[in-house]
Amino acid sequence: MQIETLELESFRNYERLRIEPGPGLNVFSGRNAQGKSNLLESIYVLATSKSTRAGKDIELIRFEDPVGRITAHVTREKNSDVALEMIFSQTDKKVARVNGVRHTKLAEVIGQLNAVLFDSGDLEIVRGEPAIRRQFLDLEIAQTSPRYVHALGAYRKTLEQRNRLLRDLRDARGSLDGLREVLPSWSAQLAHHGARLIDRRRLFLERLGLLAAEVHETLSDGRDSLQVVYVPSFPLDGAVDEAGVREAFAEALAAVAHDEMNRGTTLRGPQRDDLTFLVNGSDARLYGSQGQQRTVALSLKLAERQLIEELVGEPPILLLDDVLSDLDDVRRHHLFDLTERAGSQTFLSCTNLRPFSKGVLEQARVYAVSGGKLELQ
């Protein structure tokens, strides 16, 4: 898939921008704080409806402007070409349009365009809080599974309501018997939606883990082995399918119901899942060197690229945000080599053109970025 045109209006520090990127490597070079990451972010947001950097959508709108907009024309091999548009407003909910048709359900928009983002935040997937790993999982699975997006939404709503009930039960200190009776039905609903998430996460990680292990072996020249382990918040034991997971989840909730009423919150479920990355058998978050952690993060992203290509049938767009300076020559070489072989349209930001050979630059489209303006070199 390929972005033929990208237009930004009041997005971050871009007042107005229109570019026609090339089919291969597109390089965005400039000093700090000029808008390089913002540009790559706009493509990621169009693909996933979310930014990994912005806490709230309104941060994406250019300061003082009422509305921000991202538009792109995308050509695809496996699907018909598509016009995508996402509009953010200071006052209303975000709106997405696919070929001019407005969609309120994000599941119908996410995954029309597939993109894999590599940036300095990737390291946090390995060494940061569990919430970052869950966000990674959710955003990546969502890209290829509208069903997952639906399930996530349904789960979140149910969790919120169940937590409200648990808080009421805690604060009433047992005086609300009627409330206590409805808890099992909320638990059943939570297990229903949650099992779908857990089962999908497990399958995704099985495949991603194998691919990541292969990439990791290449990147470490066969020295280190990687194992990706899914750590759910309750034992899945013999649960082989969604129904089995649902049963195990319901049992786990029943076992902690008393605790939950005392604490006023849900203590089991996918909102507490985690991942562990074992490098040569030990936890990379705790024992890995910075270099090993970087290699794990890069392996995950490259594996994700490959997995999306397998699932969608064509390579996703690659967004490489200022990652060259963090990589040593070997990893940089592997990254270039893999991205070139993958045949992906690539958007790469950097502060200078030194890492590139003349041959690479001749094939690339190079833009200078300054103060939210682009100039084709």
How far apart are CB 35 and ligand ADP at their closest, in Å? 4
When CB distances to Mg ion are compared, the closest residue is 37
Question: Using the rule CB under 5 A, is 37 a contact of Mg ion?
Answer: yes
How far apart are CB 80 and ligand ADP at their closest, in Å? 32
Tokens representing 56 are 């709230």
Residue 134, marked binder: no
Smaller CB separation from Mg ion, 37 or 42: 37
Interface map 7-36 toward Mg ion (x if CB under 5 A): -----------------------------x
How far apart are CB 353 and ligand ADP at their closest, in Å? 15
Tokens representing 287 are 């024992």
Residue 342, marked binder: no
> Considering CB distances under 5 to 8 angstroms, the limit depending on partner class, which of ligand ADP, Mg ion, none binds residue 63?
ligand ADP
How far apart are CB 372 and ligand ADP at their closest, in Å? 7
Smaller CB separation from Mg ion, 38 or 233: 38
Question: Using the rule CB under 5 A, is 49 a contact of Mg ion?
Answer: no
Strand partners, 347: 26, 319
Interface map 187-206 toward Mg ion (x if CB under 5 A): --------------------
Strand partners, 348: 27, 320
How far apart are CB 158 and ligand ADP at their closest, in Å? 33
Q: How far apart are CA 12 and CA 124, in angstroms?
A: 24
How far apart are CB 68 and ligand ADP at their closest, in Å? 8
Residue 36, marked binder: yes
3-state helix vs strand vs coil in the chain, percent to 5: 50, 20, 30
3-state secondary structure 315-365: CCEEEEECCHHHCCHHHHHHHHHHHHHHCCCEEEEECCCCCCCHHHHHHCE
Residues at the interface with ligand ADP (CB under 6 A) = 12-13, 30, 32-38, 59, 61-63
Residue 30, marked binder: yes
Smaller CB separation from ligand ADP, 63 or 286: 63
Element spanning 280, H or E: none
Apex 311 CA angle, 305 and 312, nearest 5: 85
Smaller CB separation from ligand ADP, 40 or 302: 40
Q: Which of 146, 108, 116, 132 is nearest to 44 (CA)?
A: 116
Contact indicator for 61, 41 with CB cutoff of 8 Å? no
Name the pairing type of β-strands 346-350 and 25-29.
parallel
Q: How far apart are CA 350 and CA 14, in angstroms?
A: 18
How far apart are CB 37 and ligand ADP at their closest, in Å? 3
Residue 32, marked binder: yes
Tokens representing 231 are 């750590």
> Considering CB distances under 5 to 8 angstroms, the limit depending on partner class, which of Mg ion, ligand ADP, none binds residue 13?
ligand ADP
CB contact set of 249 (below 8 Å; sequence gap of 6+): 190, 191, 194, 195, 198, 234, 268, 269
Smaller CB separation from Mg ion, 28 or 155: 28
> Considering CB distances under 5 to 8 angstroms, the limit depending on partner class, which of ligand ADP, Mg ion, none binds residue 201?
none
Element spanning 195, H or E: helix 177-219
Smaller CB separation from ligand ADP, 34 or 306: 34
Q: How far is CA 338 from CA 6, 172, 201, 373, in A?
A: 25, 59, 26, 30
Q: How far apart are CA 340 and CA 23, in angstroms?
A: 12
> Considering CB distances under 5 to 8 angstroms, the limit depending on partner class, which of Mg ion, ligand ADP, none binds residue 59?
ligand ADP
> Considering CB distances under 5 to 8 angstroms, the limit depending on partner class, which of Mg ion, ligand ADP, none binds residue 29?
none
How far apart are CB 341 and ligand ADP at their closest, in Å? 27
Residue 10, marked binder: no
Question: Annotated binding residues for ATP, as ranges?
Answer: 30-37
* Binding region for Mg ion (CB under 5 A): 36-37
Binding residues: 30-37
